[in-house]
Structure 1
Amino acid sequence: MSDLYFGTDLFGELDRLQRQMSGLFGSFPSSLRSSRLGTFPQINIGTTDSAIEIVAFAPGIDPSKLDVSIDKGLLSISGERSAQQPLPEGARQYAQERFSGAFRRVIELPQQADPDNVQARYVDGCLLISVGKREASKPRAITVQ
């Protein structure tokens, strides 16, 4: 007989923990994994019949300082946001919420992503990336004879 005693039902606690974890991560598509919340730039990911659409919110960044690449199913967004001093001269800063410096976001793409069919453009502070889907994965109608 074991000398260890758990004052509660151990399996019940594990089941509760699993339900909580499912609630946290159940709303995200499992094939499109990205970093935790609070990282820069923030992103939205969606899909259409023909492409995977990614919007990275990156205001105040020179588009020439952004780098987008795909390698082994991972989309990488990197760049640098320069530090700006928006306060008047002589003012002392006691809080700063705007991020400045180098950054990198890596997003795992689903298998149907076509790395040879990628378009990126920067519009109104948003980096818009469209990754086409492979022809074999696109929905198609089949005629019944």
Structure 2
Amino acid sequence: MYRSLFPRDLFAEMDRLQREMQQVFDQSPGIRGVGRGGYPALNVGGTPQSVEVYAFAPGLDPASIDVNLDRGVLTLAGERKEALPKSDEKVTVHANERFNGRFRRVVSLPDDIDPNAVSAKYTDGVLHISIQRRAAAQPRRIQVQ
């Protein structure tokens, strides 16, 4: 009777369930939904001269994106309008997977950035923000005499 109520190895079964649950949460973003981070998806990286932020937000009006830099915190905010017809029309929606509504993303930046040397450019649905590092923080070669 003991074998019919419980699997042969209860701990192995628990381990399998834990792996399956972890796979659900570890899946990368796909065409059917938003990834772990929210909207817009961000890539953040840096070089010795700058910090580079890429926000993937196709279909937005660049004027509707609010970019702020305050005390080392970069904030991206805005709103994506709904693309579906108005509700007063007789329309049947079969799928609505595109994000719409207000969004806000916040990124903490390193201490060595120069808040006066920031550029933002929106091209082909990608917002590229480049923040230069302070000249004093950049590596330099010192000539030995």
How many Å separate the matches in 2 of 1:134 and 1:63? 28
The within-5 A match list for 1:63-78 is 63-78=62-77
Give distance in 2, aligned partners of 1:72 and 1:138.
20
Q: How does 1:98-113 map to 2 (within 5 A)?
A: 98-113=98-113
Cα deviation, 1:114-145, whole Å, max 9, x if unaligned, reads: 11110001000000100010111111111123
For structure 2, list consecutive stretches of 5 or more residues without a partner in the other structure: 1-25, 27-34
RMSD (Å), alpha carbons: 2.0
Residue 126 of structure 2 corresponds to residue 126 of structure 1: yes
**CA deviation map 1:5-59 (0-9, x unaligned):** xxxxxxxxxxxxxxxxxxx9xxxxxxxxxxx923000010111221101000000
- State the TM-score, normalizing by the size of structure 1: 0.69
Structure with bigger gyration radius: 2
Runs of 4+ in 1 over 3 A off after TM superposition: none
Counterpart Cα distance in 2 of 1:139 and 1:84: 48
- Aligned equivalent of 1:51: 50
User: Would you say how many aligned residue pairs link Structure 1 and Structure 2?
Assistant: 109
SS at match of 1:136: helix
Per the alignment, residue 81 of structure 1 pairs with 80
Instruction: Tell me, yes or no, if structure 1 residue 93 matches structure 2 residue 93.
Output: yes
CA drift of 1:95 comes to: 3.4
C-alpha distance in structure 1 between counterparts of 2:135 and 2:37, whole Å: 35
Equivalent position SS for 1:40? coil
After TM superposition, give the deviation of residue 80 of structure 1 in Å: 0.7
- Tell me what 1:10 maps to: none
TM-score, normalised on structure 2? 0.69
Aligned to 2:39: 40
The answer for the alignment partner of 1:14 in structure 2 is none
Corresponding residue number in structure 1 for 2:30: none
State how far apart, in whole Å, the 2-side matches of 1:38 and 1:51 are: 23
For structure 1, which runs of at least 5 residues remain unmatched after alignment? 1-23, 25-35
Identity %: 47
> What is the deviation of 1:91?
5.5
CA deviation after TM superposition for structure 1 residue 84, in Å: 0.2
SS of aligned partner of 2:136: helix
Give 1:62 shift.
0.4
